[in-house]
Amino acid sequence: MRSVLLCLLLVMAGPSWADVPAARVNGVEIGLTRLERYFSEYLDAQGRAVTSIRNPGLYKRLRDQALDELIDKELLWQEARRQGIVISDEQVSAHVGEVEAAFGSPAIFERRLAQAGFDRAQYSEYTRRDMAAQQVYAQLSAVEAPSQAEVQAFYDANQERLQGAQNQNDNPSVIHEQGLALARAALVDQRQAQARQSVRQRLRASATVEIAD
């Protein structure tokens, strides 16, 4: 949990991190220092360490993936601004309070903020930005609930895989209902993943993204 929270701190680091630009997104710089620190947290979330990667090709691929995430986050924030999405002070305060509580100590929280280049006021503003980006992402990638016929068709096409995830039960009607419930959840997840990918592609297509050599 703390790794994820620290990752958020690093992702949201602002202009004070910008040294040598790793990329520009519609003219907004993503600094190399910001990328490298986020990359470390990106690997940590996958159970990896920078020092454990011996293959240069793998290192570059993972680093590029981390940069892609930062670019997507910047594009979402810019889209949130265009749409006029506003996150209230109360929402920001509540979220910051949850993050602070997760660290278990105000002193630890303040120390981690300082290490990420923040004071509390700066972190609150970056939290507001992240929440706005997440809100616009959810809005743009929303999908309609599948119909019963669509769920049944998905279940029929994936019955073997879905049955493997079901609880053991001797009642055929219960088995079928469980299977349909799993099918509905899997179909919604699939459509949401496709919608999120489509959103990222659309934002990229309309943006000017420059990646440093």
The string of pLDDT tens digits covering residues 169-180 is 556 677 778 889
Q: How many Cβ atoms from other residues are within 10 Å of residue 156's Cβ?
A: 11
Sheet strands side by side (includes 28-31): 28-31, 21-25, 209-211
Task: Report how far Cα 204 is from the mean position of its chain's Cα atoms.
Answer: 16
pLDDT, average across residues 191-196: 96
| pLDDT digit string, tens, across residues 118-132 | 788 988 988 998 899
Q: What is the pLDDT of residues 73-119, one digit of tens each?
A: 899 999 999 999 999 999 999 999 999 999 999 999 998 888 777 78
pLDDT at 122: 86
Q: Tell me if residue 125 falls in helix, strand or coil.
A: helix
Q: Per-residue pLDDT tens for 141-157? A: 999 999 999 999 999 99
| Confidence label for 15 from pLDDT (cuts 50, 70 and 90) | very low
Q: What is the pTM of this model?
A: 0.76
**If pLDDT is split at 50, 70 and 90, which confidence band does 166 have?**
low
Q: What is the pLDDT of residues 31-65, one digit of tens each?
A: 888 788 778 778 888 888 878 888 899 999 999 99
Distances (CA, A) of 209 to 23, 128, 129, 157: 7, 24, 20, 40
Please provide the average confidence, as pLDDT, over all residues in the chain: 85
